[in-house]
Structure 1
Amino acid sequence: MWKALALCFALVLLVAASRQEDIGVQNCTELFRTDAREFAAQVKELRLAIEKIDSTNALSLANAEQKLKDTRLSYKRIAFFLEYFFFTSSRIYNRPPKTEIEEPHLEYSAPSGFQYIEALLFDDPGGHKAEMIHQCRFLEAAAEDLPALLHNFKATDAQILESVRIELIRIMSLSITGYDAPLLKSGLDEAVVSFQVMDKVLEPYMKRSNDNKVWKFIVSCQIDLVKTKDFDSFDRLYFLTHYALPLQEHLGGMINGMGLEINEKGILNYNAKNIFSPDAFNRAAFGDSANNHPGLVELGKKLFSETRLSSNGTLSCASCHNPALHFTDGLPKSIGIHSGQAVRRNAPSLLYGSFQHAQFWDGRARTLEEQIRTVIHDTLEMNGRPAETIRKLARERQYRRLIRKVAPNRKSLNDTIIYKAIAAFVRTLQPFNSDFDRYMAGDKTALTDSQVNGFNLFMGKAQCGTCHFAPLFNGLIPPTYALTEFEILGTTASDDWLHPRADPDEGRFEVRPTPYFRGAFKTPTVRNAAVTAPYMHNGAFATLEKVMEFYDKGGGAGLGLEIPDQTLSPIPLNMTDQEKSDIIAFLKALTDRI
């Protein structure tokens, strides 16, 4: 009898759980099925418009541009779902218009999709007509098969909700910057469509949770986006602080309150208030271990300034990363172990340096520990013998106590403790206490009008935010921040624009020998950029004004150099002097108090 009752109770729980699993899954999949069909029809319309292109007929070009925009808007109705559940399939439609390299096997993926079509359409529509038609036919065939993805498809409500919260981050970090469509400048319209779909997908959940704040902020976001017709003049900071970020906070609260929170991607911290909060990222995803002994950071801080780690006792980590200089040294290229001899590249700030999936300008180290080990052993930098050094230090009273805390077994003591300890210290260098951070935390007096305008330009017209992604303003690619970006800028050997010369440093090509990495370098954070001159991997630009001028001219290719695989657009930005000044003012607002 008791066994029968227990079995019945288990069946009741199973039925209840199965019902709980589908608050809005079926609603979402049916929306995808309907919108996928409409998207396929739009791709066909785009092909027909491109087939009618006549380079002598401005109307035919304008029609093709409009059809491309319409198709992109249609894609945005299915993008959040496709990119979350079928990421590989999504890459067909919307990826950067450049050859991408799948590491570590260096498999090439040729450019394809709407961003590639956009680049061709705005470059030479007549000359690229055949290629654009080819792209459309390829996309047409793929789009026709989209409903087939739902065959035997299974998802949970928690997954649906995570796909929506990731889409919101995509809007805040990519759509409003024009990342996907820098020439069409359709990012604001695409954001509106994303919010419309978000509203429909979330409707069953909002009814269940009885939370109307999420709905109100979704509506407010749309109203704010549509009231400004001009992409360049849109007030992004107001939009974020008044609507999008509060929406993120309330959406997270609703998901948590329903007990439907999951984190399949693992890098974002969903317990943070919003994406601009200091705890927005799970630090464990960047190698920070919660199990680190408290003494490890203390030991690392001391070792950071230990000159005996170098072969001649003259250099420490702090020599090139001086805390008083925001962890830089103010030199174009640091002086290494040999007197008067510079190392190959500029020493970037270590502030926020742990928030990367690759270290060094060329990304040759995957972890901070590996980077630190490489520097200490490098014959041009410190040329140290750390295994011998740590045993000597362990005999000294000032170190003995610290080392015993983290490595009580003296017999197993080795150089690994040095790399772990210094890395643990570097991971604490995340102050998030700039004027900009105070503003985003609620202090609306923290920024001047010029700095507010500078942020809006940075995230909009100037296209800075399409490589230096918010909120860290480095090369971690949103919305999942799972990859570190490398860019080919055509950086010159000096800041003499009248006689530009290509810098000979081949960057990531030396690590991964493919032509598409020749001259590629990691995108560093611009937090604290105002106080960490000189700039670029070679320290060639002495001032932020020179940096702004370089980007405004379109990088090396824009200056007339032959940079065939430059990933920075060579099209001049045509920024005014006041606009450049405002962007620099914003960069000054990113300076931390240390």
Structure 2
Amino acid sequence: MKQVSASLLLITIIILVASGFKKGNSPTAYSRCYFNKLDKFREQASALVALIQASDLQQPADVKSITSRLDATRRSMKQMDFWMRYLDPSRYKQINGPLPVEWETEVFEKFEKPYRKEGAGLTLAALYLQEDHIEKDSLQQLVQKAVDATATYQTDSVTRNLGTCSPFFLNNRLYLLNLAAIYTTGFECPDTSRIIPELRDMLKDVTEIYDAFNEGFAATPLTREYLALYTDAIEFVNKQPDQYSAFDHYLFIKNYINPLFRLNQQMIRAYKVVSKSFVDYTLNKTVNSIFSKAIYNGQNAKGIFLRVDDTTVLAEIEKVGKLLFYDPILSGNNQRSCASCHQPNGYFTDSVAATAIQFNGRDVLKRNTPSLINVVYNHLMMLDGKHISLQDQTKAVMTNPIEMGGTEKDILKKVLSCPDYKKVFKKLLAETPGETEITIDHITSAITLYYGKFSSYSAPFDDAINNVTPLAADAKKGFNLFMSKAQCATCHFVPQFNGVKPPYVGIEFEVLGVPQDTGYHKLSEDKGRYEVNPAVETLHAFRTGSLRNMQHTAPYMHNGIFKTMEQVIDFYDAGGGTGKGLTVPNQTLSADSLHLTPPEKKCLIEFMQTLNENIVFEKPPVTLPSSTITKVNTRKVGGIY
């Protein structure tokens, strides 16, 4: 008996060590909570599949019964949502994917081509039940894929995350980010009447997860301060109306979710939490607010100067970058600079023309000039996502025959013909180990470092939601509309109000049905994302841009067709191109009218004006470096056109 007991003890120790359990931690309660909720969801989803199989979908009573069962299944799914999104976000889209087909355009497109991902699960099943003709096999398949996806959450590679504290706090961070950006907006809940009831249930369910975690991980618990504030958040939501358009999104985020995020970030640092998941690839654990500009990293503005941290050296790079930004020496005819189209007094965009003039000085480009402010918070550059880095984009513009018309060879030759440029770049060469000569990358990186710094400014809304200053009543109403009835937040996610949603590794491309003219006689012919990644779903799709500084970056849309914010809001209110009578088979924007009232539209604009950032712009350089090439010395600061 002693020998058997000793063997069992040894086996137990080996299992605990292999599972990553630390001395003093008892994960039994936490893991039991996880598996109980997983089993419940699996049972509910399997029962839903069986009900669909046994039903006659031509009978309203059967459809009603399935809808009721689907709601119950969503309820049990939301009990697992805390874990599923983080532990395997790809499988989660099989359980609750919002789109029938999605092209993955994550940060990892910097390393691999985008791939087609078919959605499935409960959100799509709910949408399918609203259609006039429902095929049993199709509906059953949507739910069966959700059942099948649960198997992933039982594998060792996933469940071993239950054995240490680190994944919990990273799970919790994503949960809080989604509370601010996803859960209250209707992004993946087609029945808006259920958004707030689902939120209440989820908040309560996560309390059980918190209790189980603290029981098992007494050495690294959620603090009393955190748990008390979370209880207050539940009480706040319980007192709110059921209708999500009447829910106070602003106070919910400002008074509860953002402070909870701060406390969770403090615990991540205090407990020395380490991530091994790509979900955390871009997130910054040093920030204490969701509305910190540094919450995630999208682009590396330093480029080839990545290793440089010395502020004096960085200032020197920025200085030469500014000169180059205004220097038409980068163009084929020495008459056009970056500032020709990205005008600093226009928030680094072309605030005059719908689309800028081409290199030939006669024709115009087909797309509106996007602002360079806040581009560092995009994973993919250009409106079609063509480029993966700021430096690639800069180089492409300089060498595009219809934009700046230069060549890498000539640009480098002309820049180095200026003694001042040559001297500084020779000095900076020492800051790029492994590089033996000055290249075009040194030039583009200096430029991106210069304009990248203008993305660090905050807006009045940031100050308000961070409890620095108050927010005007109409602006608050506008934000709550933005997050609900106006449906803006289903594409423009906090904190950057662009298409990058938590966990900030992916970016949205949307098909809106933008017209060629304001009379809506024709759909814009620009194929958008299709030109980079040809697919039915990507035709006329464009990257969702940031709404920050929107008041100063007119005209709007990819072709600059709208001149005012009012026109843009009217376009969305009408249901986009389809709502205006255009044929857009793959439009991702709802074609239904939002039924916004004139006062509501006014409040929306009031809110968006609080996103105007307090940017300190700089005056252009007075002169440009002289060149040993005589003809180059006739160039003007900022270019001629």
- TM-score under structure 2 normalisation? 0.83
1:280 to 285, 295, 315: 295
SS at match of 1:100: strand
Unaligned runs of 5+ in 1: 1-10
How far the C-alpha of 1:272 sits from its partner, in A, is: 0.4
Q: What does 1:282-297 correspond to in 2, within 5 Å? A: 282=297, 289=306, 291=308, 293-294=313-314, 295-297=316-318
Distance in 2, matches of 1:418 and 1:345, equals 25
Distance in 2, matches of 1:21 and 1:233, equals 48
Distance 1:128 1:568, change over 3 A: farther
**1:445-488 CA-partner distances (Å, limit 9, x unpaired):** 3x31111111111111211111111100111121x111122111
SS at match of 1:90: helix
2:160 to 146, 154, 158: 154
Which structure carries more relative contact order (alpha carbon 8 Å, separation 6+)?
2
Q: What does 1:267-416 correspond to in 2, within 5 Å? A: 267-282=282-297, 289=306, 291=308, 293-294=313-314, 295-330=316-351, 331-407=353-429, 412-416=437-441
* One-letter amino acid matched to 2:260: L
**1:250-308 CA-partner distances (Å, limit 9, x unpaired):** 12223332333547422111110121112212467777635264122222122111112
Q: Confirm or deny that 1:136 pairs with 2:143.
A: yes
**1:139-191 CA-partner distances (Å, limit 9, x unpaired):** 34554x46743589422211122112211111211101121114344333333
Distance in 1, matches of 2:292 and 2:66, equals 41
How far the C-alpha of 1:355 sits from its partner, in A, is: 1.1
* One-letter amino acid matched to 2:359: I
| Aligned residue number for residue 5 of structure 1 | none
How far the C-alpha of 1:47 sits from its partner, in A, is: 4.2
Conservation of the 8 A alpha-carbon contact between 2:325 and 2:339: yes
| Aligned residue number for residue 99 of structure 2 | 97
Q: Confirm or deny that 1:42 pairs with 2:50.
A: no
2:453 to 409, 428, 442: 428
| Aligned residue number for residue 476 of structure 2 | 452
Distance in 2, matches of 1:185 and 1:310, equals 56
Distance in 2, matches of 1:122 and 1:373, equals 48
Distance in 2, matches of 1:385 and 1:21, equals 63
**1:412-466 CA-partner distances (Å, limit 9, x unpaired):** 2222211111122232121332211221232333x31111111111111211111
Conservation of the 8 A alpha-carbon contact between 2:513 and 2:577: yes
How far the C-alpha of 1:370 sits from its partner, in A, is: 0.5
| Aligned residue number for residue 509 of structure 2 | 486
Of residues 259-268 and 401-410 in structure 1, the stretch that sits farther from structure 2 once superposed is 401-410
Distance in 2, matches of 1:376 and 1:465, equals 35
Distance in 2, matches of 1:67 and 1:184, equals 17
Conservation of the 8 A alpha-carbon contact between 1:473 and 1:527: yes
**1:389-410 CA-partner distances (Å, limit 9, x unpaired):** 3343334354344323313699
Q: Confirm or deny that 1:475 pairs with 2:499.
A: yes
How far the C-alpha of 1:134 sits from its partner, in A, is: 3.2
| Aligned residue number for residue 600 of structure 2 | 579
1:193 to 197, 201, 216: 201
Q: What does 1:481-560 correspond to in 2, within 5 Å? A: 481-496=504-519, 499-560=520-581
| Aligned residue number for residue 227 of structure 1 | 239
Percent identity between the two aligned chains: 27
* One-letter amino acid matched to 2:116: Y
Conservation of the 8 A alpha-carbon contact between 2:300 and 2:376: no
1:441 to 466, 475, 484: 466
SS at match of 1:76: helix
* One-letter amino acid matched to 2:358: G
Distance in 1, matches of 2:302 and 2:607, equals 30
* One-letter amino acid matched to 1:491: V
**1:20-47 CA-partner distances (Å, limit 9, x unpaired):** 3774644332212111121123224544
2:261 to 248, 253, 261: 248
* One-letter amino acid matched to 2:267: M
Conservation of the 8 A alpha-carbon contact between 2:518 and 2:562: yes
Distance in 2, matches of 1:112 and 1:149, equals 21
Distance in 1, matches of 2:68 and 2:469, equals 39
* One-letter amino acid matched to 2:82: F
Distance in 2, matches of 1:24 and 1:349, equals 52
Distance in 1, matches of 2:124 and 2:418, equals 62
SS at match of 2:506: coil
How far the C-alpha of 1:89 sits from its partner, in A, is: 2.6
| Aligned residue number for residue 463 of structure 1 | 487
Distance in 2, matches of 1:296 and 1:236, equals 42
How far the C-alpha of 1:527 sits from its partner, in A, is: 0.5
Distance in 2, matches of 1:137 and 1:150, equals 22
Q: What does 1:155-174 correspond to in 2, within 5 Å? A: 155=161, 156-174=164-182
* One-letter amino acid matched to 1:466: T
Conservation of the 8 A alpha-carbon contact between 1:530 and 1:591: yes
How far the C-alpha of 1:354 sits from its partner, in A, is: 1.4
Distance 1:387 1:128, change over 3 A: same
| Aligned residue number for residue 75 of structure 1 | 77
Distance 1:444 1:263, change over 3 A: farther
* One-letter amino acid matched to 1:519: H
Distance 1:210 1:307, change over 3 A: closer
Unaligned runs of 5+ in 2: 1-12, 616-641
Q: CA RMSD in A?
A: 2.9
Conservation of the 8 A alpha-carbon contact between 1:305 and 1:318: yes
How far the C-alpha of 1:344 sits from its partner, in A, is: 1.8
Distance in 1, matches of 2:550 and 2:245, equals 24
SS at match of 1:521: strand
Conservation of the 8 A alpha-carbon contact between 1:122 and 1:183: no
